[in-house]
Structure 1
Amino acid sequence: MGHNISLWFDAWHPDDRLIDAYGFRAVYDSCLSLNACVSIVLHEGSWNWPPARSNDLVAIQVRLSDVKIGEVDVAVWKFKSGVYFCGETWHFLRPKFPVVPWWKVVWHPMVIPQHAFILWLVFRQATATKEKILKGKGMHTTLCKLGLATVVYHIWRLRNELCFGNSPFIEEALVARIKWDVRTKVLTRKFKRSPLDRQHSALWML
Structure 2
Amino acid sequence: MRCFLWSQGNSGKSNSKVAWEVVCLPKDEGGLGIRRLDSFNKALMAAHIWKLLNKKNSLWVTWIHIHKINDRNFWDIPCRGNMSWAWRKVLQLRHIIRKFIWHKIGDGQRTSIWYDHWCHLSPLAEVVSYRDIHRAGLLPSSKVADVMVSRSLVWPIDLSSKYSNLLSIAAPSISAGTMDTIEWKSSDGVIQPFSARVVWNSIRPHDNKVDWFYVVWFPGCIPRHAFNLWLVVKKKLKTQDRLASWNVNASLATHCTLCESQPDSHDHLFFECPFSNQVWCHMRDFVGLPRMQPSLELIVDLLSPFSKSRTTRCVVSKLVLAATAYFLWRERNDRLFKKGKNTVDHVIGSIKSSVRLKLLSCRFKKSKAGLDILKQWNISEALLS
Q: Is structure 2 residue 217 aligned with structure 1 residue 107? A: yes
Distance 1:201 1:10 in 2: 69
* Structure 1 runs not aligned, ≥5 long: 33-37
- Greater relative contact order (Cα 8 A, min sep 6): structure 1 or 2? 1
Q: Secondary structure at the match of 2:74?
A: coil
Deviation at 1:17, TM superposition (A): 3.8
Partner of 1:35 in structure 2? Answer: none
Partner of 1:42 in structure 2? Answer: 142
The answer on whether the counterparts of 2:115 and 2:122 sit within 8 Å (CA) in structure 1 is yes
Partner of 1:84 in structure 2? Answer: 194
Deviation at 1:112, TM superposition (A): 0.8
Instruction: Find 2:172's aligned residue among 66, 78, 85.
Output: 66
Moved more, 81-90 or 104-113: 81-90
Provide closer, same or farther for how the CA distance between residues 141 and 61 of structure 1 changes in structure 2, counting only shifts above 3 A: closer
Q: Is structure 2 residue 300 aligned with structure 1 residue 130? A: yes
The answer on whether the counterparts of 1:161 and 1:167 sit within 8 Å (CA) in structure 2 is yes
Moved more, 169-178 or 107-116: 169-178
The answer on whether the counterparts of 1:5 and 1:73 sit within 8 Å (CA) in structure 2 is no
Deviation at 1:127, TM superposition (A): 3.0
Provide closer, same or farther for how the CA distance between residues 151 and 31 of structure 1 changes in structure 2, counting only shifts above 3 A: farther
Q: Is structure 2 residue 348 aligned with structure 1 residue 167? A: no
Deviation at 1:148, TM superposition (A): 0.8
Deviation at 1:115, TM superposition (A): 1.9
Q: Is structure 2 residue 376 aligned with structure 1 residue 199? A: yes
Distance 2:335 2:123 in 1: 56
Distance 2:167 2:72 in 1: 16
- Cα RMSD between the aligned structures? 5.1
User: Which of structure 1's runs of 4+ aligned residues deviate more than 6 A?
Assistant: 79-82, 160-163
* Structure 2 runs not aligned, ≥5 long: 1-70, 77-111, 133-137, 148-154, 236-295, 380-385
Deviation at 1:14, TM superposition (A): 0.5
Deviation at 1:152, TM superposition (A): 1.6
Q: Secondary structure at the match of 2:185?
A: coil
Task: Give the letter for the 2:164 counterpart.
Answer: V
Q: Is structure 2 residue 120 aligned with structure 1 residue 15? A: yes
The answer on whether the counterparts of 2:113 and 2:142 sit within 8 Å (CA) in structure 1 is no
Deviations 1:26-51 (A, max 9, x none): 46x6558xxxxx962528x7359894
Distance 1:74 1:157 in 2: 58
Task: Give the letter for the 1:187 counterpart.
Answer: L
The answer on whether the counterparts of 2:114 and 2:123 sit within 8 Å (CA) in structure 1 is yes
Provide closer, same or farther for how the CA distance between residues 67 and 16 of structure 1 changes in structure 2, counting only shifts above 3 A: farther
Deviations 1:115-145 (A, max 9, x none): 2233234445763443434658765543322
Distance 1:157 1:31 in 2: 70
Provide closer, same or farther for how the CA distance between residues 159 and 61 of structure 1 changes in structure 2, counting only shifts above 3 A: farther
TM-score scaled by length of structure 2: 0.35
Distance 1:16 1:179 in 2: 62
Provide closer, same or farther for how the CA distance between residues 93 and 137 of structure 1 changes in structure 2, counting only shifts above 3 A: same
The answer on whether the counterparts of 2:320 and 2:355 sit within 8 Å (CA) in structure 1 is yes
Distance 1:130 1:106 in 2: 9
Distance 1:85 1:132 in 2: 39
Provide closer, same or farther for how the CA distance between residues 2 and 67 of structure 1 changes in structure 2, counting only shifts above 3 A: farther
Partner of 1:4 in structure 2? Answer: 74
The answer on whether the counterparts of 2:215 and 2:318 sit within 8 Å (CA) in structure 1 is yes
Task: Give the letter for the 2:339 counterpart.
Answer: P
Distance 2:231 2:354 in 1: 20
Count of paired positions: 188
Identity %: 22
Distance 1:82 1:195 in 2: 47
